[in-house]
Chain A
Amino acid sequence: MSKLKKTADALEKAMNAVFTFCGFLAVAFVLVITAFLVISGVPAIGEIGITDFLFGRVWASTAAEPRYGILPFILTSVYGTAGAIVIGVPVGLMCAVYLAKMSGGKSAGIVRAAVDLLSGIPSVVYGLLGMIIIVPLVREIFRLPDGANLFSAIIVLAVMILPSVISVSETAIKAVPKEYEEASLALGATKTETVFKVIVPAAKSGILTAVVLGIGRAIGEAMAVMMVSGNVANMPGLFKSVRFLTTAVASEMSYSSGLQRQALFSIALVLFVFIMIINLILNFVVKRGESNE
């Protein structure tokens, strides 16, 4: 008996150690990545000068006199993400309302399966479809010489953030107590009024979480936007060929050397800081949502 117990205890202890180790492993990865990005990203910023780097309007990394200004990339990432949110969030939110409140059992199942499938599609496939369908379409609809621009990238990103927006806001909407809805309907409000004036406001912290998640997804996307945005380091314009922070790193990394390579690490560091800020906002939003309830 005691022998059995001893073995069980030993096993228990060993597994405990394994779990703890794995837990700390995740922390270690984050720390290593942070340290690596800071160590490899800071020197180039120092060499170029932080204002020249962050607010320089010209990126010419391989020119005879190289210039490393990443303002075009920062603004493109901000505009692109904002555009994707403006288009993607309303559509995603209404889809979530449909799923949570309007649909009957079977059709909701189909829509939900489709949304799940959408989230599983690799980003390169989004890029490919964007390149072959959206880019020529944008060119013809707006009568532009070329369709690879910020607008096409926004469309692709808007579709890509849909799944996370939909699933998070659906959960939030479902969590709204049924009594709110019933009370609103009993007071004579229509279903639409109830949705927009009662349910959505009650679920706002969850919906905000969905928005922040969408921002995170959109700002970090590289592959799909690289294929539809044209990749020229212009200051952003809706119908101009643009380069995002992510694609700036991805498109030059393979052959870069010296200061150019270090500057790419610095861009990655800037991107990392953006993502960190977004995560902090997300934590803040979630915490505030919890304390409200």
Chain B
Amino acid sequence: MKKLTTMLLAVGISVTALVGCGGTPGRADGTAQTVSTDGSTSMEKVIGYLSEAYMAENDGIKITYNPTGSGAGIQAASEGRCDIGLSSRDLKPEEAETLEATVIAIDGIAMIVNPQNPVSDLTIEQIGKLYKGEITNWSEVGGSDAPVVLIGREAASGTRDGFESITGTEGECKYTQELTSTGDVVQTVSSNPNAIGYASLASVNDSVKLLSVEGVTPSTETIQNGTYKIQRDFVFVTPKDKDLSEAAQAFMDYASSAAADEMIEKAGAVPVKR
């Protein structure tokens, strides 16, 4: 009962706080313009940083984000239920007939192992075999004789979705641990000499060893020029046949301009090379 009361109290306080912040000042004529975005959960951080920075500079514009997943976002954009659809995969040919995709950032997924692990390079095929449980000992990929401990993210994570689709291991991974945050993955890999994990490049620190994939070390440069393979695009999806609202167009221009690069980097993604 005590817990319940505390919880309700917390909910009450946060609701009040939200209401408090909700009053966007609006334009001179008193109306606030809303740009609605809908889609990829992996893009939550990117869109969060971008919209916060944009709203701080542009009074009277409100950017909303509905985390529904790439597929749902693309559908929402094609049905006109949102201004901008967010997708962390490229459009399928039939989707591209009516929709326009604008890449605003690239998500680089880094493979990490414990610093004690002698392995420093893996191929995508090897990574796939490791995660599918076809290779269970590090000695098979040039490491020491030790069991492989596979660290991953929870089923609904965008990073997991990206990793599994690029390595072709969807639904087949034999994880030892499924953790709920990037920080947990880095911490666990740093404390277990036999662990391998994946995480957004930006969240990797010195406590773990960064692997090169097919001979290419992940960095902003190798991700931008496409030589580092474990990466995917973050795209804004808009209808081809309809013009965006003034506010949505302005936000899109901002997001694809050099001014947004800093925010994209802060959010852990890699800006597009211009």
Contacts and interface: CB of A to CB of B under 8 A. Distances in A.
Interface in B148-183: 148-149, 154-158, 170-171, 175-180
Interface stretch (B83-91, B120-128, B190-198): B190-198
Contacts of B170: 63-64
B4 A29 contact: yes
Contact of B176 (A64, A131, A227, A232): A232
A231 B180 contact: yes
Interface string A256-270: 110010000000000
Contacts of A40: none
Interface stretch (A174-182, A187-195, A206-214, A247-255): A247-255
A241 interface: yes
A171 interface: no
Contacts of B156: 61-62, 252, 254-256, 260
A241 B68 contact: no
A116 B74 CA distance: 53
A6 to B, nearest CB: 35
A143 to B, nearest CB: 10
Counting from the closest, the 6 A-B pairs by CB-CB distance are: A255-B156, A145-B147, A230-B177, A231-B178, A62-B155, A63-B171
Interface in B175-219: 175-180, 184, 187-188, 191-192, 194-195
A132 interface: yes
A135 B180 CA distance: 17
A227 B184 contact: yes
A251 B180 contact: yes
Interface string B128-140: 0000000000000
Contacts of A255: 41, 67, 69, 156-158
Given A136-B191, A139-B192, A227-B184, A146 B177 contact: yes
A148 interface: yes
A110 interface: no
5 contacts: A33-B4, A62-B155, A145-B176, A232-B176, A254-B156
A139 B69 CA distance: 37
